[in-house]
Structure 1
Amino acid sequence: MIRRSARTTLVTAACGAVLATGLAACGTVQQLSAADKVSTAFDKLGRSKSFSAKLSVDATAEQIEAFGAATGEKIDKETAAALTAVNLSVAFSADKPLKDVQPSKGANGEAAKADPSLSSSVALTGKGGASLFELRQVGDRAYARADLAGFARLVGEDASEIDQLTKNLPAALQGALKGSWVSFDAKQLQEPGGAGGTGASPAPTLDPKAEEGLTASLKDILDHDLSFEDKGKQDGKERITVTAPARKLTDDLLKAFAPLAKDVPNLGKLPTTAPKDVPDRNLALDLYLDGGALSAMTFDLAQLEEKPAPGSTLPLRIAFGKDAPAVQAPADAATISSEEIAGLMIGDFTAGLAADAADGSDGADSTAPWDGPGDPAEPLTDAQVKELTAGGAMNEEQVRLYNKLGMSYQDIKDLAALGS
Structure 2
Amino acid sequence: MRALTMTIAVGAVAGLSLTACSSSGSTGGGTGGSKNPTEALAAAVHNINSGNAEAFQLSLKPDDAMIAAMNKDSDPQSAQIAKSLFSNGGIVVKFTASSDKPLKDLKPGENPNVELDLTAGGTDFLDIRMVGGALYAKANMPQFLQLAGKSASDVNSQLSQAPADFQAPLQALMAGKWVGVSAADLKNLEQMAQNLGNSDLGSSTAPSTSAGTQMLAGIESNLMKALTQDATVTDKGSGQYEVSGKVKVIGQDVLQAITPTLSAVPGKSKADIDKLRQGLNSVPDSENVTFNVWLKSGQISELQVDLAQFLPSSQTGGGHLPVDAKFSQTAGSVSAPGDVTNVDVQKLLSSFGQGL
> Could you state the TM-score of these two structures normalised by the residue count of structure 1?
0.62
Kindly indicate whether the alpha-carbon contact (under 8 Å) linking 2:7 and 2:279 is maintained by their aligned counterparts in 1: no
Q: CA deviation at 1:90?
A: 1.0
1:254-273 to 2 correspondences below 5 Å? 254=255, 270-271=273-274
Kindly indicate whether the alpha-carbon contact (under 8 Å) linking 2:14 and 2:250 is maintained by their aligned counterparts in 1: yes
Counterpart position of 2:288: 282
Q: CA deviation at 1:262?
A: 11
1:347-386 to 2 correspondences below 5 Å? none
Instruction: Tell me the amino acid that sits aligned with residue 126 of structure 2.
Output: F
For the aligned residues, what is the CA RMSD?
4.3
Deviation per residue, 1:347-393 (Å, 9 max, x gap): xxxxxxxxxxxxxxxxxxxxxxxxxxxxxxxxxxxxxxxxxxxxxxx
Figure out how many residues of one structure are paired with residues of the other and give that number.
Answer: 324
Deviation per residue, 1:293-334 (Å, 9 max, x gap): 322222212112134667421212222222111001011212
Is 1:337 paired with 2:338?
no
1:216-255 to 2 correspondences below 5 Å? 219-233=224-238, 238-254=239-255
Of 121, 130, 146, 1:137 maps to 130
- Contiguous gaps of at least 5 residues in structure 1: 105-114, 343-396, 402-420
CA distance in 2, matches of 1:124, 1:263: 22
CA distance in 1, matches of 2:214, 2:141: 46
Instruction: Tell me the amino acid that sits aligned with residue 16 of structure 2.
Output: C
CA distance in 1, matches of 2:234, 2:351: 52
Deviation per residue, 1:173-197 (Å, 9 max, x gap): 22123211122134357556389x9
Identity of aligned residues (%): 21
Of 167, 170, 173, 1:173 maps to 170
Kindly indicate whether the alpha-carbon contact (under 8 Å) linking 2:55 and 2:327 is maintained by their aligned counterparts in 1: yes
Structure number with greater CO (CA < 8 Å, separation at least 6) is 2
Counterpart position of 1:119: 113
Kindly indicate whether the alpha-carbon contact (under 8 Å) linking 2:50 and 2:104 is maintained by their aligned counterparts in 1: yes
For residue 276 of structure 1, give the secondary structure of its aligned residue in structure 2: helix
Of 303, 320, 324, 2:327 maps to 320
Counterpart position of 2:156: 163
CA distance in 2, matches of 1:312, 1:190: 46
Instruction: Tell me the amino acid that sits aligned with residue 148 of structure 1.
Output: M
Q: Once structures 1 and 2 are overlaid, which stretch shifts more, 253-262 or 175-184?
A: 253-262
Is 1:147 paired with 2:147?
no
Kindly indicate whether the alpha-carbon contact (under 8 Å) linking 2:136 and 2:178 is maintained by their aligned counterparts in 1: yes
Q: CA deviation at 1:42?
A: 4.4
Is 1:182 paired with 2:179?
yes
Kindly indicate whether the alpha-carbon contact (under 8 Å) linking 2:61 and 2:321 is maintained by their aligned counterparts in 1: yes
1:6-85 to 2 correspondences below 5 Å? 6-19=7-20, 21=22, 33-39=36-42, 41-42=44-45, 46-59=49-62, 63-64=63-64, 66-70=65-69, 73=72, 76-85=79-88
- Contiguous gaps of at least 5 residues in structure 2: none
